[in-house]
Structure 1
């Protein structure tokens, strides 16, 4: 009986401390994901080790842009659209993903919940994922794309929120004008 209560307690604590990793249904006041065929232009962004080139991008409200993300660095990087507060929240999620072993310096691993088999996971039944529509991970030497329709004029950032990367300067300015 003691063992069963302990396992239930651990499962509950794990569930309460786990973030909602990614909510594909989440809406963004600055726009939404779009198919690449809707893009009016493409912007190539080269990811180096702790840098983006270009460092600033200008867009018009209503424009759909296809970002072509080329990782020429030696590390896994992220391209994430948002404001500074969104990046701060996402950095905490990324830290937990790294601590769980899901993120390695050069890639992403699928999470294996087999070690917790037989436990009542409650809301833990989902897999840990990095699938926010405003974000993409790019492994070294790889290219990825993200297409976004910008709905209104605003100031945003594009950033890599892998632990330590934003703080090392892997952030750029994205200005959406009328």
Structure 2
């Protein structure tokens, strides 16, 4: 009996520690998140209701930039790095979060969202290229930009992108 329980326990521990259970690591062809200490400069982006200031950011390939996000609006806003196709996909996820009641105009509700259907993964907002900023709050995103490209920074909360809350981010050689 003891041996059977020991083997069962060992099997469970091996299964839980197996890479098969690990979530796949998300990668971005335009760079990766970095610690703030690695930043060579900081850029402040002010979020108001349906606008970003500045509307464009210029960065050099290989540069690590600390982006300080200040929400001076009355609504919850998002800062998300990506191309137009990534934003379109993320907007659908954000819409589902809103429809589920998880995303409100001024914040995120804590709820058991892992069981929600249709996402293909647990519904959450934890992408490394994205940060939510509550009204009156400040947040940061530090990123190393790996290659020359043209990106957008956008708020993908339903209706915000469409209302013009999008900017251009150009990474040059």
Q: TM-score, normalised by structure 1?
A: 0.79
1:47 and 2:47 correspond: yes
Corresponding residue for residue 163 of structure 2: 168
Secondary structure of 1:106's counterpart equals coil
For the 8 Å contact 2:113–2:123, the answer to whether it is kept is no
* Residue 24 of structure 1: how far off its partner (Å): 7.6
1:77-92 matches, cutoff 5 A: 77-92=77-92
Partner of 1:56: 56
Q: Name which one, 1 or 2, has greater alpha-carbon Rg.
A: 2
Structure 1 match to 2:172 = 177
Trace 1:49-128 onto structure 2 (pairs within 5 A): 49-112=49-112, 127-128=122-123
Corresponding residue for residue 141 of structure 1: 136
> What's the C-alpha RMSD, in Å, of the aligned pairs?
2.2
Change (3 A) 1:128 1:39: same
In structure 2, the CA distance between the partners of 1:80 and 1:40, relative to structure 1 (3 Å rule), is: same
Deviation at 1:128, TM superposition (A): 2.5
Structure 2, unaligned stretches of length 5 or more?
Answer: 1-22
Moved over 4 A (4+): none
Aligned length: 150
Deviations 1:70-113 (Å, cap 9, x if unpaired)?
A: 00000000000000000000000000000011100000012236
- Give the Cα–Cα distance (whole angstroms) in 1 for the partners of residues 49 and 77 of structure 2: 8
> What's the CA shift for 1:29?
0.2
Q: For residues 1-43 of structure 1, give each alpha carbon's deviation from its aligned partner in whole angstroms, at most 9, with x where no partner exists.
A: xxxxxxxxxxxxxxxxxxxxxx782100000000000000000
Instruction: Evaluate the alpha carbon distance shift between residue 113 and residue 47 of structure 1 in structure 2; reply closer, same or farther with a 3 A threshold.
Output: closer
* Structure 1 gap ranges (5+): 1-22
Q: Find the aligned partners of 1:24 and 1:41 in 2 and give their Cα distance.
A: 31
Whether the 8 Å CA contact 1:43–1:65 is kept in 2: the answer is yes
